[in-house]
A and B are shown apart, each in its own frame.
Chain A
Amino acid sequence: MREVIEGRVWTLPDDVDTDQIISGKYLTVIDPNELKKHVFEIALPEFAANARTGDIVVAGLNMGCGSSREHAPQALKAIGVGAIVADSFARIFFRNAINVGIPTVEAPGVRKIFEKGDPARIEMRGGRIQNARTGASVGFPPLPAHLLDLLEAGGLVEKVKRELQAGATVPSR
């Protein structure tokens, strides 16, 4: 995870649920490179063909509500999204996005300072996101240390791998 993340913004409205990110008909697809062709097919149809590595998704309230499908952040990861920022997140989507290694930040008020295509600059530990075109910015509480560690490791798989190599044990009952 980079300390400062910069990228071009795609905007989304409030309440983009997981069906609008990856429709139920693609849930038997487990190849992320296939999934990425269908990401935001309902919410933002031009996204999949035009998104570039490092682009930043800026959503409104309750981003990723609905099902537990990890296909949603996996598809965004495969497309190379640099960060996901929203006024607020649904809890499973937030966890899934961090677990697959995407810097994911809840910054209340962020949606209204961006328009599609604006350049964004996120200071992960500093807790600030800025629109480099307008200069507008909002602050946010930086992620707690254990989540920053998880992102530093590159995601949950790497983090657990390191824990197991360091001799992590399972709790006794």
Chain B
Amino acid sequence: MNRSEGNGGQTLAEKILARAGNVDHVVPGQIVEGRVDLAMMHEQGAQTVGPFHEMGAPRVWDPDRVVIAIDHWVPASTEGAAVLHRILRQFAKEQGLTHFYDVGNHGICHQILAEHGWVVPGDLAVGTDSHTNMLGAMGAVAAGIGPTEMAAVLALGRLWLKVPPTLHLRIRGTLGRGVYAKDLILRILGEVKTTGATYKAIEFSGPTIERMTMSERFTLCNMTTEMGAKCGMIAPDATTRAFLEKVAKHPMHPVSPDKDAHYERVIDIDVDGMGPMVACPYSPDNVRPLTELVPQHVKVDQVFLGSCTNARIDDLREGARILKGHKVAPGVRFIVSPASTSIYKQALEEGLIETFTEAGGVFTNSSCSACFGGNMGILAPGEVCASSSNRNFPGRMGAKDAEIYLLSPAATVAAAIRGELADPREFL
């Protein structure tokens, strides 16, 4: 069958973009004008307001499809951040945007969208943050865009998208003790590399994925951004529906890929026997087995358990389980930042905050915080950080020559205890 005739089977991304574009069938490379189901802004949205007014749009196209979630500097840590927040509050008031997650009800924007059911299967969602890809775990196309593009979305309710070819990652096997979804996505990054999925969609499937919780799926889809992907996604199933059952904000339109869907590339990965992984400075694809680094005694100055990638309640629970009965190594700063205020409250209820702080850690308010070098954990020149976040580019967390090692939450806690990179399996 000739795909250009539009008859072949379709991938998950193709089906969702066909629906968004109100056409029966799409092929990679085709441009669609996609109707947006959900638009999310964080602080960068402050730069949307000017262009929106310049465009001369009378009103936001649909206030019920717009979410504002401030997360980078919460509460405002500088005058500049305070101004960004105020611009957003004023814009929300002016436009009647009531879905505003402000200080006290805040969290990292992607986690807010997930917890509150703002993105559901079949959606086309866009956000002013590159890790918007995380929401693809709902069985949606979720992509990051810039603030001027967001202004056009708020004005018109749509944007042009080139239908991406799809990279299919089929995962089988069982993650061993001390090995997590984060280790899997790091391993994939090591293979696909930071440019291996540029402009592409990534579709995860297979028995390993089917057994994963939504939190684990979020971690996988979140870091498809680091491979350059437009979106990373997982077909919706009973786990997705159970997660969204009580919180979905609008009707679901679940779709699955066709059996005869055409994938640009298929990679099969067996996770049986896989150990913990680490991404070394200065690229998320500079990945090695953690066991290779442990004998080198890589000393750390700071450990960060946080970010949209890995700061959900299960990440905190696993970290606390490992930390219990230990102390943070002398001279190490251990910072824990939950992904949302509701996770903060749950951690409080479960006694996790006590475990972290008794051991010598700092448990902060929910924020992107140290992940992007914004506040609460900036690195000095030459310092080394073990982090559960998603990027380790030069200057990402502060000084340009500071070194960041990306790890699972469990492995970051192991590093906090030892004061150097360590295998979390030794503590389980």
A88 interface residue per 8 A CB criterion: yes
Q: List, in ascending order, chain A residues with CB within 8 A of B394's CB.
A: 19-20, 42
A131 interface residue per 8 A CB criterion: no
Interface string of A76-100 (1 = CB under 8 A from B): 0000000000001111100110011
B218 interface residue per 8 A CB criterion: no
Q: Choose, from A1-9, A48-56, A115-123, A157-165, the stretch at the interface.
A: A157-165
Q: List, in ascending order, chain A residues with CB within 8 A of B148's CB.
A: 70, 96, 99-100, 155-157
Q: List, in ascending order, chain B residues with CB within 8 A of A30's CB.
A: 46-47, 84
A27 interface residue per 8 A CB criterion: yes
Chain B contacts with A in 130-181, Cβ cutoff 8 A: 130, 132, 144-149, 151-152, 155-158, 160
Q: Provided the pairs A15-B194, A92-B145 are in contact, do residues A24 and B396 lie with their beta carbons within 8 angstroms?
A: yes
- Per a CB cutoff under 8 Å, which of A62, A88, A91, A146 touches B230? A91
Q: Is the CB of B395 within 8 A of A90?
A: no
B199 interface residue per 8 A CB criterion: yes
Q: List, in ascending order, chain A residues with CB within 8 A of B373's CB.
A: 19, 23-25
Q: List, in ascending order, chain A residues with CB within 8 A of B22's CB.
A: 171
- How many CB-defined contacts (below 8 Å) exist between A and B? 140
Q: In the complex, A15 Cα to B285 Cα: how many Å?
A: 11
The smallest beta-carbon distance between A81 and chain B, in angstroms, is 16
Q: Is the CB of A69 within 8 A of B157?
A: no
Q: Is the CB of A160 within 8 A of B152?
A: yes
Q: Provided the pairs A24-B372, A28-B83 are in contact, do residues A70 and B147 lie with their beta carbons within 8 angstroms?
A: yes
Q: In the complex, A146 Cα to B373 Cα: how many Å?
A: 37
Q: Is the CB of A161 within 8 A of B31?
A: no
Q: List, in ascending order, chain A residues with CB within 8 A of B158's CB.
A: 170-171
Identify the closest chain A residue to B148 (Cβ): A99
- Per a CB cutoff under 8 Å, which of B72, B84, B151, B195 touches A157? B151
The smallest beta-carbon distance between B73 and chain A, in angstroms, is 7
Identify the closest chain B residue to A99 (Cβ): B148
Q: Is the CB of B194 within 8 A of A65?
A: yes
B214 interface residue per 8 A CB criterion: no
A68 interface residue per 8 A CB criterion: yes
The smallest beta-carbon distance between A41 and chain B, in angstroms, is 8
Q: Is the CB of A62 within 8 A of B35?
A: no
Q: Choose, from B52-60, B305-313, B322-330, the stretch at the interface.
A: B52-60
Q: List, in ascending order, chain A residues with CB within 8 A of B84's CB.
A: 28, 30
Beyond A68-B132, A95-B145, A160-B55: 6 further Cβ-contacts under 8 Å? Answer: A19-B394, A62-B194, A62-B198, A96-B148, A157-B148, A170-B62
Sample (20) of A-B pairs whose CB atoms are under 8 Å apart: A15-B194, A15-B195, A23-B373, A27-B44, A27-B374, A28-B83, A30-B47, A30-B84, A68-B129, A91-B198, A91-B199, A92-B130, A99-B146, A157-B51, A160-B55, A164-B155, A164-B156, A170-B61, A171-B22, A171-B157
